Structure 1
Amino acid sequence: MKLFSSQRFLAIYSGVLTAVFAATVLTAFKKPLQNATFDEITVHRINVVEPDGTPRLIVSNKASFPGAYIHGKDIPRTDRNTAGMIFINDEGTENGGLIFGGLKDAQGEHSYGHLSFDRYDQDQALNLEQNQDGERRNSGLSINDTQGYPIPAQMIADAQSFESMPDGPGRAQALKELMAKYPPYVRRAYFGRSVDHSVGLTLRDEQGRERLRVAVKADGSPAIELLDESGKVVNELTSETKGRSR
């Protein structure tokens, strides 16, 4: 009994317990990650990241939706009042996304959905979308030529400053200056339904000028139009003509 109550024994016993506890903790940390299965999960936001912490995919509700990711930095965007997901490339820069929403208010029914894929360090090169504001509805697929400059954080700040401006001459001038400083992408092709109830295909040149229109108009009549650089229709084919030059 004296042996178990001696200070030397207690010191050895305490050291052994400490060593066992430390080994247990370290072993637990070395265990591989375990898969988990859930029947249902409720969250506000999910961040998918690489082992080094680089974000790759963010799924979020409207309240927690992120800003714009540029090389690992989340740049706040006050205009992103939506739910959805953001795709992010290997370098932590936004690579496209999916947003959606809808509601009914005093002005009528509203709905939207937008899926896009971006060029490296630039804007959307391909997008599929639909929009509804009351009776005004359009939906379609766009193929775009983006610009050659990388989108800077200052561009986002300038755009948000413009969005906060009231309607009027000052806002119109600010938009002109903004587009001159940051030329937007050029929509080269669009296939879809327009707000005038027509459906068709529009092709543009690299300067964004319409050169070919194929459409079925709201009244059901089909038409094919060829346009010159000034936008003038130089040849058309309708159900009433077999080809007429202008």
Structure 2
Amino acid sequence: MELKRITRQLNWLKIYSIVNTAVLAGILVYLGLGGASNSGYKSLNNQDTLNISYIKAQRVDIIENDDKLAISLSNSQTSPNPTFDNIELKGVSNRNTPNIIFFDGEGDEVGGMAFSNSLNSEWQQGIRHLAFDGNHQDEVVTVSHFIKNDSISRTGFYIHQRPQIHILDALSEMGVSPNDSEDILANKISEFKKSNPKRFEEIWQLKSRVSIEKNEQDDAVINLYDGEGRVRMKLFVEKSGNAGIHFIGEDGGVVSKLK
């Protein structure tokens, strides 16, 4: 009786194994041929593509054929660090926000989008930000929307002027190493600014050139700046309806007005 029972169990195990193998093979064939219209792999222009209806991830990278980043979609904790000439800058930017980062096909960052909401017991702030970087530099064109306490907001289009120096060369001159943490990097830049203010301005200082915005007072304003980042002409329509053009001197004072 014991021998018959063991033989019967072995036969069931054989059947179970054959059925599992057949099911697994069927799944693999199903995926290889494309399966349903919204799931599995299928061939497109002789390349394997995955067609699925839903993906859940903390970060998704679009890469070039050589594995360099093209676009990166990240949550607030997984964003890639800025990279220039294949050198990763670990402390250049604090990006504790969900974001989309753009690269130039060679691995250099060239802009991105960021979205955040911050809340504490006293105030609330939201940021919606789209930026395009200069060549081997930081932001030169931005479109932004900032909200504070649901009642104060600023929305605008901004053009900036950056120094004509590679960002890696500027950081190196200030004593910054690519492996420096954010705190160390910030301290080195701050110390350089104190000891070499003129040179700091030449190699690092952002200067505004054009801004078109709805400001915190709900006025519509166009500001035009000179090469030193000083506003020299302001066109505005206030919330009340008052409108005008102000021409501004180097010292910031209005030298003439048109209404």
Normalising by structure 2, what TM-score? 0.69
Count the aligned residue pairs: 206
| Aligned residue in 2 for 1:199 | 220
Go from structure 1 to structure 2 and tell me whether the alpha carbon gap of 1:215 and 1:98 turns closer, same or farther (over 3 Å shift): same
SS in 1 for 2:184: helix
In structure 1, list runs of 5 or more residues that go unmatched.
Answer: 1-27, 239-246
- The equivalent residue for 1:241 is none
1:220 and 1:175 mapped to 2: Cα distance? 45
Q: Structure 1 residues 46 and 158 mapped into 2: Cα distance closer, same or farther (>3 Å)? A: closer
Say if 1:158 and 1:34 are closer, same or farther in 2 by CA, change over 3 A: closer
- The 5 Å alignment of 1:118-197 reads 118-134=133-149, 135-152=151-168, 154=172, 157=180, 160-161=183-184, 163=186, 173=194, 179-180=200-201, 182-197=203-218
What is the CA–CA distance in structure 2 between the aligned matches of 1:84 and 1:207, rounded to whole Å? Answer: 31
State the SS of the aligned residue for 1:128. Answer: strand
Q: How do 1:110-125 residues align onto structure 2 when only pairs under 5 Å count?
A: 110-125=125-140
Does structure 2 conserve the Cα–Cα contact (< 8 Å) formed by 1:131 and 1:138?
yes
How many Å separate the matches in 2 of 1:147 and 1:174?
Answer: 19
Would the alpha carbon gap of residues 181 and 72 (structure 1) be closer, same or farther in structure 2, given more than 3 Å must change? same
| Percent of residue pairs identical | 20
Alpha-carbon shift at residue 133 of structure 1 (Å): 2.5
**Structure 1 pair 174/38, CA: closer, same or farther in 2 (3 Å)?**
farther
Change (3 A) 1:132 1:175: farther
Q: Contact 2:164–2:203 (CA<8 Å) still a contact in 1?
A: no
Structure 2 partner of 1:37: 51
> How has the CA–CA distance of structure 1 residues 178 and 197 changed in structure 2, closer, same or farther, with 3 Å as cutoff?
farther
When structure 1 is superposed on structure 2, of 51-60 and 134-143 the one drifting more is 134-143
Deviations 1:123-160 (A, max 9, x none): 21211011123243211000122210010155575974
Query: Which residue of structure 2 aligns with residue 64 of structure 1?
Result: 78
